[in-house]
Amino acid sequence: MAMSLNGMIARPNNEEDFLSEDTWLEWLRWVREVGCVIFGRKTYEVVKGYGEESLRDLKGIKIVVVSSQKDYKVAEGFELVSSPQEALKVLEKGGFKVAVLTGGDILDSAFVKAGLIDEIVLNVEPVVVGEGIPLFSSSLFDLKLKLQETKKLNDDLIQLHYQVSGKPGKVSQFSLKENR
């Protein structure tokens, strides 16, 4: 995923105008290396909205879109499923052992809660976005991480690579502390 310094992946209207071309190119490199990607419906719509060139960039990549809308239409060659588990089953049947998850916040949180994420790679853009969509939706869980690598992608853009170091923990709503 890519996010602002303060953890926003998009503006409230789903615009990602603060994300750089370098982030897109790094994401494409990862997706091409792995061969598949899982989108949430809204993220799929954003990428589709970038135009035909963006979809051409994804040619040859297995794309699974997760949506609770059973009658939602995806582009030819893309597959629609209704859950994180179903997305992984589809990819497993296709011979994939690793998948790139490019949420949004609701899907990212669903994968975490199901214990289906083992790594998190974040490109941190050099911008603070005052209001927007966070990396994970408001939800009661903790996810312990261990930093594996930091990489400077350009003069201003960094990449953080974490390994998940345990199952997601459930947090009592009474023990939550605001940490924003």
Q: What is the residue whose two structure tokens read 């011979």?
A: 95
pLDDT band at 177 (very low <50, low <70, confident <90, very high): very low
Average pLDDT estimate for 77-86: 93
* Domains present along the chain, CATH in parentheses: 2-164 (3.40.430.10)
Backbone phi, psi, residue 10, to 5°: -165, 165
* Tens-digit pLDDT profile for residues 143-174: 899 999 999 999 999 999 999 987 665 443 43
Secondary structure string (H, E, C) spanning the chain: CEEECCCEEECCCCCCCCCCHHHHHHHHHHHHHHCEEEEEHHHHHHHHHCCHHHHHHCCCCEEEEECCCCCCCCCCCCEEECCHHHHHHHHHHCCCCCCEEECCHHHHHHHHHCCCCCEEEEEEECCCCCCCEECCCCCCCECCEEEEEEEECCCCCEEEEEEECCCCECCCCCCCCCCC
Interatomic CA distance for residues 178 and 104, integer angstroms: 22
pTM reported for the whole predicted model: 0.84
Average pLDDT estimate for 22-45: 92
Average pLDDT estimate for 89-101: 95
* Tens-digit pLDDT profile for residues 39-78: 999 888 888 887 777 777 888 999 999 999 988 998 888 8
Amino acid occupying residue 21: E
